[in-house]
Structure 1
Amino acid sequence: MAKIAFLGLGVMGFPMAGHLARAGHEVTVFNRSPEKADAWLATYPGHRAATPREAANGAEIVLACVGNDDDLRQVCLGQDGAFAGMAKGSVFADHTTVSARVTQELAGIAAEAGIGFVDAPVSGGQAGAENGQLSVMCGGAQPDFDRVQPVIATYAKICRLMGPVGSGQVTKMCNQIAIAGLVQGLAESLRFAEASGLEIGEVVEVISQGAAGSWQMMNRHKTMAEGKFDHGFAVDWMRKDLGICLDAADDLGVSLPVTALVDQFYKDIQRMGGGRWDTSALIQRLRD
């Protein structure tokens, strides 16, 4: 069992850190709003810290799952940041979906301090985190990955090293690009069925058995039909991720026309007040 720090107790980090604690690891958590840390300690065995540095002090592995590039820099750097509390030979693994640029920046700083760094963004949403069924795509050196993989396996159905530092984030971009077009297509299909007077459940039962079947179809068609979006992966988060994808595509000279279009559709959902709705809310834009 390892001594672990977990930074960030949002809808993903809260259950992920919980899986570690229940598996017998010694877990110290940090969250910017202490109320969430209190709630976590009321649910799981472990400790809480007032700063990322305090949480990371003495930890063999430090895991983070925060919001964006700036949040990640904030928990890593400065006199109260995690890097300041980590010993040489320890490893930092980042589950946040952030730009490859900030990943490379922080990995370089970690290397100068003798700290290993693995970028390890996740896919599977809140349900995947709660059920310990996340897909984790990693970038880093093989020895660092080998250190963190058994720990991450506590809440992952697959955890794979994709290449050097930054490769995990690039793989996560591929994931979000694939999802964006798929959800828009599903929204259009279900709206078309609805407008044609067909029963959505019956349509899905038939077409899901063929080439149209997908995780999104099976897990989101009922709530899309009912107009219920108070769950899952928020539109605000998806727009952040798609922005990372589009910026990286510009750097590579790669065209992502469908991704750019769906990003604008999500912008419409935000204007409708649905920034915290699940990404399947794209169907609501077609109804209004």
Structure 2
Amino acid sequence: MNVSLIGLGDMGHDIARHVVAGGFTVTGFDVDPERRNAAAALGVDVQNTLAGAVAHAKVHIVMVATDEQSEQVTREILEEGVAGSVIVITATNGPKTMQTLAKACRERGFGFVDAPVCFGRVGAREGTLASLCGGSDADIETIRPVLDCYSRAVHHIGPVGAGQIGKACNNMMHWAHCVANYEVLLLAKRYGINAQRMREVLLECPAENGTLRRWDSTRFTWHEKDMDLALDMAQAGDIPMPLFGQVDQLVKRLDKEMVKELLHGPEADYLGWHLTALPPEKGGLN
């Protein structure tokens, strides 16, 4: 089976590597020539145009960022690809965008699946992403062997758009954990307990969560986009979510350097406060 991969950045590069290792013929395209060169070194048949990359593929993996980019690439594949092939959107986009694109694909005889991924950069590098899929049984069975190359699990959640709903649910829990983890470890640090040691202890307690376990690799690269998308979906669905309204505001004030300093540095910052451990005479444990 021939597979095209559109978008050869950090995530796409590693996904391409795993799909090539899985024995598939992979053609690729990216607007960045350096990314194209890097993918060529993996054994990807890199093309200088999107049209060249998708011309003979049965499955098209689209690893771009925004709804607008997903729309643009999908429209180009419909013009240049082969009817009967399946387009797979791996980006975190809106479910309505997915439904609109799926309709356009059906009208042209193409399959369509939204399959955003979890576990981020580390998961892509290790080939242990989780693919959350929305689409028909037939389309997902067609693409499953390809997704299995880079996924620890391929979850069929429901019809087109369901993959994006599933990704939003995961993201909401992830960012809520980010805020809770930071505040909890900040409390420990304030009273003189080593925050990294407290983290290690909590990983052996009921408070353990996947975000805390992967805390060192959380990059805070998409939290603004992810939370905005989730809250837009809540508003469109007329669902009150006061907790996540607060999480939305708080997580946007965190970054990986703050987490690094909290876990391994002598001090920490949060919401404008610069915090050090309390001395014993003021309630600290040191």
TM-score (norm 2): 0.88
Other-structure match for 1:185: 180
Other-structure match for 1:71: 69
1:170 corresponds to 2:168: no
2: CA distance between counterparts of 1:279 and 1:110? 44
Q: Are 1:180 and 1:259, in contact at CA under 8 Å, matched by a contact in 2?
A: no
The 1:50/1:26 distance shift into structure 2, 3 A limit, reads same
Q: Are 1:139 and 1:169, in contact at CA under 8 Å, matched by a contact in 2?
A: yes
Runs of 5+ consecutive residues of structure 1 not aligned to the other structure: 224-230
SS of corresponding position for 1:154: coil
2: CA distance between counterparts of 1:150 and 1:183? 33
Corresponding pairs, count: 267
Other-structure match for 1:11: 10
Q: 1:121-140 to 2 correspondence within 5 Å?
A: 121-140=116-135
SS of corresponding position for 2:172: helix
Where do 4+ consecutive residues of structure 1 move more than 3 Å?
231-235, 266-269, 277-285
Q: What letter is aligned with 2:145? A: P
CA-based RMSD: 2.0
Structure 1 residue 201 displacement after superposition: 2.9
Structure 1 residue 279 displacement after superposition: 9.6
1: CA distance between counterparts of 2:174 and 2:261? 12
Match of 2:239 among 218, 237, 254: 254
SS of corresponding position for 1:12: helix
Amino-acid identity (%): 29
Other-structure match for 1:198: 193
Q: Are 2:90 and 2:115, in contact at CA under 8 Å, matched by a contact in 1?
A: yes
TM-score (norm 1): 0.87
Q: Deviations over 1:33-74 (max 9, x none)?
A: 1211111212x1121122322211010000011111111112
Structure 1 residue 233 displacement after superposition: 3.8
Structure 1 residue 219 displacement after superposition: 2.4
1: CA distance between counterparts of 2:158 and 2:85? 20
Which structure has the larger Rg?
2
Q: What letter is aligned with 2:243? A: V
Runs of 5+ consecutive residues of structure 2 not aligned to the other structure: 263-267, 275-286
